[in-house]
Amino acid sequence: MFTKIGTITVGVSNQDKARDFYVNKLGFEVVNDQPMSENERWLEIGLPGSQTHLMLGLRGQSAGNSTGMTGFVLHTDNMEETCATLKERGVKLTVEPGAEPWGKWAQFADPDNNEFGIWAPPA
C-alpha cells in the first residue's frame, strides 16, 4: 500500500519569492525545480533528510486559492532558539511561543500569509 506522504502543495503567488523565503529563511532545500508550463514550474522543497516535501505551486493553477493556517506543523527541539532565528531572518511570527500541556507552540506566516505551526515537546 502507501509508503509515505511524498509531496504536499502550498499555494504561493510568486514561485521565486517563495523559493527565496523557504530556502534562505526557513532552511529548506530545493529538491526539484522543473518547468511545468510557460508560467509555472514544479518547485519542490524539503527539509534536509526528510521524505515529505512541499510543492510551492501557483495559486489558482496547481494550488488552491486559500490563505491562512495550512494545518502543517514543523517540529523543533528548541522553540526559543528556532523562533529567535526566524525573527532574525525577518520571518513574521503570528503566534508568539507559548507553553501548552501538550508542548510548546508558535506560528509563522510566509509572504503569502500561509501559516504554519511550530511545535516542541513539553519541558
> What is the structure's pLDDT at 65?
86
Report pLDDT digits (tens) over 32-67. 999 999 999 999 999 999 999 999 999 988 888 888
Q: How far apart are CA 34 and CA 54, in angstroms?
A: 14
Instruction: Please check whether residue 104 is in contact with residue 98, taking contact to mean a CB–CB distance below 8 angstroms.
Output: yes
pLDDT digits (tens, 9 = 90+) for 93-117: 999 999 999 999 999 999 999 999 9
If you average pLDDT over residues 16-26, what whole number do you get? 98
Average pLDDT value for residue range 63-78: 91
The whole model's pTM is what? 0.89
- For range 70-82, the mean pLDDT: 95
Domains parsed from the chain with CATH numbers: 1-63 (3.10.180.10), 67-123 (3.10.180.10)
Give DSSP secondary structure letters for 62-98: TB-S--EEEEEEEE-S-HHHHHHHHHHTT-EEEEEEE
SS3 of the chain: helix, strand, coil, percent, to 5: 15, 45, 35
- The predicted structure's pLDDT at residue 3: 81
